[in-house]
Amino acid sequence: MNYPVWQLGFPGGLLIAAVAVLHVFISHFAIGGGAYLVLTERRAYSHNDSELLGYVRLHSKFFVLLTVVLGAVTGVGIWFTIGLVSPEATSSLIHTFVWGWAIEWVLFFVEIAAALIYAYHWDTLDRQTHLIVGWIYFVAAWASLVVINGIITYMLTPGRWLETGNFWDGFFNPTYWPSLFIRTAMAVGLAGIFGLVTAMWEPSPLRERVVRWAGWWLVLGIASLLPLSRWYFHDFPSYSRAYFSGMYTAVHHALLGGAVCTGVALALALVFALIRPKLMNPVVVAVLLVAGISVMATGEYLREFSRYPYVINSYIYANDIRVGQVESIVANGVAKASPWVEGSADDPHAYGRELFVIECGSCHSVAGYRAMRKITRGWDAKFASEILLHLPAVRETMPPFVGDEHDRAALGRYLASLMPATPSGANEKELGQQVFAIHCALCHSVGGQRRPLDLKGTDPEGIAGMLGTLGDINPDMPPFTGTDAEGHALAVYLSDPRQ
């Protein structure tokens, strides 16, 4: 909490995702494409296929332009966005892996230099040297994945690093190997897509030859994704594996979408590239491209979601607050923890809003993505400040609220001001249903998956009495803050056998 908070107006994670997905796509594509170019060149020499050689020559320039320019621009773009959205985590990553980054930058330099020589020196280098330059390009590109994979996987599973603080413990962490294989498989698949896209410019019969050759890359890449993801998932932290059990609709949809895209891509590649390459056409290639990007984006999204409530597991929360700082912030208040926070004296509402941006804004917006205005409908300030004590019980994905009593009251008042509404209904049961929606539905459902409550047929007076002692039933439950009439209506609703 040592930096000014960048107030975007929407969760910064979305911005990182937009830049990152593009960069991840380009960078994996650069690795696979490198191998594809060199192996295709070698194939052309060994089959004495001058048409194929002409194809590689032509597209090597297009490839280098695309990967070097877009790769560099989006890569720098990622540094800018993560530095602004999560300065604490970015600073921590730089400090922990300073030599990793240094090696990464050297590799990047080698990669770009080799790529330029490869693309522009077809005539000045002999075949053997040209192939070697191509291999240098590919090896540097893949080695940069080998390095950055250690840092990315460390964020999800820092493993023994948490106790030892040792570089290698963090680097070769529990998800290092499966992730390296998955990313390599993605790179191979994307190289196949690159081959298919470029083949569309070629006349028959070279076109069919390239389509079938590139098709093998695509099929190999996609087909290995399923077993590799199972291995990867197996090494996830156990708490985040639970996110995949259907509790979170967003995760469920992403999994389904990713599976459909993988299946469609595999089927299309088999039919249109391997079995009937004559039928391959730009429309199918476009579908494959979109499916490829979607699979990649889904994977990144699920990996990021699995990291919740942390950005670096057990070390820094997703809202950029260090776990080690929590105790002192709870004792002394947010304003004391950061020179950038303006304090509460003049305008308590503005202070509440500031706390919202700092603690909730990385994942919630006020009115758009995971809109707070919808969530807090009908909240009163007392209820809001009580809920803040139980955020991890509301959703396991959320960090705890940190701050002193004064902060909690200020944020509570701000949240309650977003969408004031008084529960009402034509009859007592309807009123009770609304009271349930406001006070209980954050954590419970009736007949659903989330902590289902089944009090059908219970005496309403008994339930109404129990509302006064919720905290005794479970310390994770906030006290009921509604009026007596609301409590009674809630009891009637919960006991109704025909809910």
CA torsion, ordered 95, 99, 100, 101, to nearest 10 deg? 70
| Site membership for ligand HEC, residue 212 (CB under 6 A) | no
- Say if CB 386 and CB 481 are below 8 A apart: yes
Q: By rule CB under 6 A, what string of x and - marks binding of each residue 42-71 to ligand HEC?
A: ------------------------------
Q: By rule CB under 6 A, what string of x and - marks binding of each residue 428-447 to ligand HEC?
A: -----------xx-xxx---
| Site membership for ligand HEC, residue 250 (CB under 6 A) | yes
- What is the Cα–Cα distance from 60 to 5, expressed in whole angstroms? 43
| Site membership for ligand HEC, residue 243 (CB under 6 A) | no
CB of 295 to ligand HEC, least distance (A): 22
| Site membership for ligand HEC, residue 398 (CB under 6 A) | yes
Peptide linkage before 309 cis (omega within 30 of 0)? yes
CB of 346 to ligand HEC, least distance (A): 22
Tell me whether residue 390 or residue 413 sits nearer to ligand HEC (CB atom): 390
C-alpha 108 chain-centroid distance: 25
- Say if CB 449 and CB 247 are below 8 A apart: yes
- Using CB under 6 A, count the residues that bind ligand HEC: 38
Among 72, 110, 394, 419, binds ligand HEC (CB under 6 A): 394
CB of 453 to ligand HEC, least distance (A): 5
| Residues whose CB falls within 8 Å of the CB of residue 276, separated by 6 or more in sequence, listed in order | none
Among 55, 248, 301, 315, binds ligand HEC (CB under 6 A): 248
* Of the candidates 6, 1, 11, the residue with the CA atom closest to the CA atom of residue 361: 11
- Per CB under 6 A, which region of 255-263, 276-284, 290-298, 473-481 contacts ligand HEC? 473-481
Among 119, 269, 453, 489, binds ligand HEC (CB under 6 A): 453
Among 36, 194, 401, 493, binds ligand HEC (CB under 6 A): 401
| Residues whose CB falls within 8 Å of the CB of residue 65, separated by 6 or more in sequence, listed in order | none
Interaction residues for ligand HEC, span 308-367 (CB under 6 A): 308-309, 318-319, 359-360, 362-364
CB of 457 to ligand HEC, least distance (A): 13
Q: Which two tokens stand for residue 403?
A: 């701050």
| Residues whose CB falls within 8 Å of the CB of residue 44, separated by 6 or more in sequence, listed in order | 50, 52, 53, 55, 56
Q: Which two tokens stand for residue 56?
A: 């590689």
| Residues whose CB falls within 8 Å of the CB of residue 334, separated by 6 or more in sequence, listed in order | 1, 341, 355, 358, 402, 403, 404, 407
| Site membership for ligand HEC, residue 395 (CB under 6 A) | yes
CA-to-CA separations, 83 to 170, 309, 313, 474, in angstroms, rounded: 21, 19, 18, 40
CB of 301 to ligand HEC, least distance (A): 12
| Site membership for ligand HEC, residue 419 (CB under 6 A) | no
| Site membership for ligand HEC, residue 77 (CB under 6 A) | no
Could you give the maximum distance between any two Cα atoms of the chain, in Å? 91
457: left (phi over 0), alpha (psi -120 to 50) or beta: left
- Per CB under 6 A, which region of 48-56, 73-81, 229-237, 393-401 contacts ligand HEC? 393-401
State which amino acid sits at residue 357: V
- What is the Cα–Cα distance from 205 to 199, expressed in whole angstroms? 11
Interaction residues for ligand HEC, span 475-494 (CB under 6 A): 476-478, 480
Tell me whether residue 272 or residue 401 sits nearer to ligand HEC (CB atom): 401
- What is the Cα–Cα distance from 78 to 309, expressed in whole angstroms? 21
- Contacting positions for ligand HEC (CB under 6 A): 248-250, 308-309, 318-319, 359-360, 362-364, 370, 375, 390-391, 393-395, 397-399, 401, 415, 439-440, 442-444, 451, 453, 470, 473-474, 476-478, 480
